[in-house]
Structure 1
Amino acid sequence: MEVQNFRKPFIHLFSCSTGYYLYDVNTDSILKINSDTYDKLKIDEGEAENEQIQKLKTCGYLKSSRVQISEHPATKLLPSLYKNRVGNLTLQVTQQCNLRCDYCVYSGKYYTRTHTNKKMSFETAKKGMDFILSHSDSCEELRVGFYGGEPLLEFDLIKKCVEYLEDKVKDKVIHFLITTNGTLLKDEILNYLIEKKFRITISFDGPKEIHDRYRRFAGSEKGSYDIVMKNARYIKEHYWDFFISNVGFNTVINPEESYACIGNYFKGEELFQDVYFTSGLVRDEGKKEKTTSSDQFVEEYNYEYFKLLMNKLGKIKKENTSVICRDQIEYLKLLRGGKQQNENIELPAKWHHGGPCLPGIRSLFLTVEGDLYPCEKVCENVELAKLGTIDSGIDIQKATRILNIEDLTSDQCKGCWAYRYCDFCIRYAEKDKNELKQCLLQNCSNVRKKIENIFKDYCILRELGYDFETESLRKGNQNERS
């Protein structure tokens, strides 16, 4: 394991096609430097200086300060937050599904969970809804999501929940959300979801041969592509406004497939133009056998991502980029947008890396059996990940442990240059505490590599004229697009 020298400047050096850079961890700033400064800062002793290094120090950069005590800044706020700010609830209305998707977390290939015939009773759902109603005084809006399995198998329960909330809530806006495989979106169900202005996310994985390979009906080899496409096209043709504003798609990409094949399909299919779209690789958290990416997949992804960057520079029209990677530029903007104008001076003595959200605040997840978890992504078989039960409420001590996951790896975290950008949270828990620590540390190098690549893309785009604050090219950098 790398030995950290806490007397050295807390920085990370990297280079790309536009020059040499340092990331100053204390100020959270990326600075362009000359090659001589780059070489001198790489010296282990850190004694060699030049005029630029002296200037950087004068301006407040190159401090060696590290976090001394691992504690999330919101730790002491948890009791108040859970009393007044719990406004997002996701109900696991069933663990059953009419499909058997190959990579689903219920497929048996994960430690997390498996398909069962368990379904949520209205009594349990009512307790969940009453919980957020009594713990959301500071929330102007409420969000209630329905999750499975396939949640529309419990359509009657969903209707009862909606009616219950509409009857109870008079002074807040309620948003209803559902994630569905799309096979049941017709007739009475569809009309009801439209009437109640549900936000619908449909799972859809690309061309017929790929979608049907992974998303098959239970008990058969029949794929679901045809019925999902039929239902989605019907919504767009007959309820266009609703489709554009309330329907989105999510694609789960298996890196063993051709990225170009999937991307070209979505780019050419009229149905998916101008709608909300997200995508992600097959989840590895909790997976018994990890997924590997082929060289072809990596090359094809990098090419499509390159075109996306070229679009931001005005070189390629948006319609010539792949819809399944457009959210990557949003991730880049989220991480670095506005950071160059911040007023960070130094890391505080007490802090926590950037991974965990406030457990249960962004999305409190209630299982069919009445257990509470931070969100639907965590492993339901790990006691460490449980917040409490709907009968006993949220356990502040458990929530504090989940929020302060850095306690497991604090010695390594405090000296890591990617400290502010680490995304480790309780979703990485597969079994017990000791295995979680090992899992986190095994993934550290991948996180650092990902963050460094984002920094490089950010620097190149800025150097070539893209302004992240206005999301446009600076004057003098506009070019004709092809």
Structure 2
Amino acid sequence: MSDIPFIHLFSTDTNKYVYDVNSNDIIKVDDIAYDYFHLLLSGFEPDECKYLLTNEYDSSAITKSIAFIQEIEKAELYFSKTRPQEIALFCCENSMKYTYSNYINQLTLEVTQRCNLNCRYCIFSGIYEQSRPHTKKDMTWKIAKSGLDFMFQYGGRDPNDSILLRDRFKPKEKSDFTIGFYGGEPLLNFELIQKCITYCRQNAPTDKKVGFVITTNGTLLSDDIIEYFIANNVAITISFDGPQNIHDKFRIHANGKGTHQEALNAIKRINYVARKMNLPETLYCLINCLVLGGFHFRELFDYFVSLENLLDNEYVHFDLVINTLTGGLKKWNDCYPEEQLEKPAGYEELLEEYKSACLAGKYKNDNNHTFYFDILNIFAYNNLYFDLHARTRHQFSDENEILETSHPGCICKLGSRRPFLTVDGRILPCERVFSENPSFYVGRIDTGLDLNKIKSMLDDFTNSTIEECRDCWCYRICDVGCINDNYEEGVFDARKKMDKCRQVRARRHSELVGMMKLLEQDPTVLDHYNEVAVS
């Protein structure tokens, strides 16, 4: 279909639109143009299309509409026929080597495989075949130091990558690269964390600013540790799943006791220490909320709204990330048939409330909305148009046509964005992949990243659908997802990727329709997304 415009058609109740892949823009068209494009996409030649249109439209109107289309195409504004010639994440071998020699964004250290909890849905809980169970292994200083030295040499942020900044309190001063501390429960090896931070302060290149992040269940956070993290600019993420009946079903001690109160106390303790230190700027922290099923989203939403005084005050601001573990729900129900969980209910209700709030202008002025609407925005954020709006406004704003060598926007640069260093020195693409699957090993810290292995993984992902991708209208706005989701028993499975492709196209079409329905009512209704950029 390379001889016809690279487009996708969709319509609302009142208007018809063309999503133009090359310009990554959305154009409202009249009925004649829409039907003309529809006939082209159906395989008819241009002259055949004109003839068939005479059954419904006046000849002069057809001529005028098609002339307008051709004029726009000739001006190289829209409706280009260009398709990618080569599907590749890197244009050449040198480009790949340069990226992996200069732009490793974050190295996450598995400082320990020990954990003081026994969370029932955890990837390390023993129910996932290709992931390790909890062990008593700690990372040695030798491996940690090698990881830090690796980042001193290769750490950096690609200036061509955009970042996601949705929160007004999120620090605007970026580090050049980041060291993350992960587990298990990383605070069980706090001494190593301190040693790493001290080493970075004393030995990092003077032209590189190092950032630090830690993900913790919060149960071991003391006032002294919090004060240490604040003094050393360590961004704290607390794992906290909301109300007690949700949190305590999954996040438990080995004896079955829930940890809700301990996690909530950690949030209160952070507030206390921040107030005591009288910080000159608001302290930014993060809550990572993982949910499976068997609950109502309204209950979860109302609970976080009720924590306003803890989550948003002059001393501390907690951003919130909601992750619904759909794959984990299936695994749970397979492993625990006596405790079957239904999919979470009530999400559509919150989305409709969010749309109404947008149309009511609740987000047009940053100072015009309350904490309630901030939380509502967060709940809708990952699932309603923000990604699509950002991608069709920002991501390819400097390109009128797809580059000859390019890649759909659906796969990360494996081992570049957030490589994960295990306690025994193996490097994985990130902390989310199955750690016991050799297919995901992309290097060792003593020998470095294996670029041949990374290229092979990228090629498997790309080549499995290369012909389909070349002509897919979702090329620019694809989010087929993590490469981890496309492996079956350690082997890349092209069928799983194709299934996801079909799902993504259906969802993106629906999102385009829904987004334009909102914009038809008020063209500025989503302007609060304009500062969002997606990487």
**Could you tell me the TM-score, scaled by structure 2's length?**
0.78
Separation in 2, partners of 1:111, 1:226? 31
Residue aligning to 1:327: 381
Deviation at 1:193, TM superposition (A): 1.6
Shift of 1:168: 0.8
Name which of 57, 81, 84 aligns with 2:70.
57
Question: Contact conserved, 1:338 with 1:469, CA < 8 A, in 2?
Answer: no
1:135 and 2:131 are equivalent in the alignment = no
Q: Which of 477, 486, 489 is the aligned partner of 1:421?
A: 477
**Alignment CA distance shift 1:314-1:23 (3 Å):** same
Letter in 2 for 1:71: A
**CA spacing shift, 1:87–1:332, aligned 2, 3 Å:** closer
Structure 2 vs 1, CA of residues 25 and 471 (structure 1 numbering), >3 Å: closer, same or farther?
Answer: closer
Distance 1:446 1:306 in 2: 22
Question: Does structure 1 residue 309 correspond to structure 2 residue 355?
Answer: yes
SS of equivalent residue, structure 1 residue 420: coil
Change (3 A) 1:315 1:176: same
Alignment check: 8 A CA contact 2:248 2:259 kept? yes
Return the letter of the residue paired with 1:310.
Answer: S
C-alpha separation in 1, matches of 2:143 and 2:398: 47
Q: What amino acid does structure 2 have at the position aligned with 1:38?
A: Y
Match of 2:303 among 265, 273, 280: 265
Secondary structure class of the residue paired with 1:183: coil
After superposition, residues 321-400 of structure 1 pair within 5 angstroms as 321=373, 322-323=375-376, 324-328=378-382, 330-338=386-394, 342-400=397-455
Contact kept? 2:25, 2:392, Cα under 8 Å: no
Alpha-carbon distance, 1:470 to partner: 6.9
Please report how far the alpha carbon of residue 170 of structure 1 lies from its aligned counterpart in structure 2 after TM superposition: 5.5
For residue 95 of structure 1, what is the aligned residue in structure 2? Answer: 113
Structure 2 gaps, min length 5 = 51-61, 159-174, 335-339, 363-368, 531-535
Partners in 2 of 1:152 and 1:100 — Cα distance? 15
Preserved contact between residue 438 and residue 490 of structure 2 (Cα < 8 Å): no
Distance in 1 (alpha carbons) for counterparts of 2:156 and 2:250: 43
Q: How does 1:201-216 map to 2 (within 5 A)?
A: 201-216=237-252
C-alpha offsets along residues 369-398 of structure 1, whole Å, 9 cap, x if unaligned? Answer: 111122212222333322211111111212
User: Residue in 1 aligned with 2:259?
Assistant: 224
Query: 2:502 and 2:401 mapped to 1: Cα distance?
Result: 24
Distance 2:332 2:477 in 1: 27
Distance 1:38 1:20 in 2: 7
**RMSD of the alignment, in Å?**
3.0
- Write out per-residue CA displacement over residues 262-306 of structure 1, whole angstroms, 9 at most, x where no aligned residue: 111112222234531111111528975789995772xx2122123
The answer to whether the Cα contact below 8 Å between 2:32 and 2:65 also exists between their aligned partners in 1 is no
Structure 2 counterpart of 1:55, one-letter code: F
SS in 2 for 1:42: helix
The structural deviation recorded for 1:143 is: 0.9
2:189 partner SS:
helix
Partner of 1:238: 273
Q: Quick one: distance in 1 between partners of 2:381 and 2:321?
A: 7
2:325 & 2:29 partners in 1: Cα distance?
39
Q: Determine the C-alpha separation between the residues in 2 that align with 1:220 and 1:59.
A: 69
Unaligned runs of 5+ in 1: 473-482
**1:20 is matched with which residue: 16, 21, 37?**
16
Is the counterpart of residue 83 in structure 1 residue 138 in structure 2? no
Q: CA shift at 1:128, angstroms? A: 0.6
Aligned position for 1:475: none
Pairwise CA distance, 1:442: 1.7
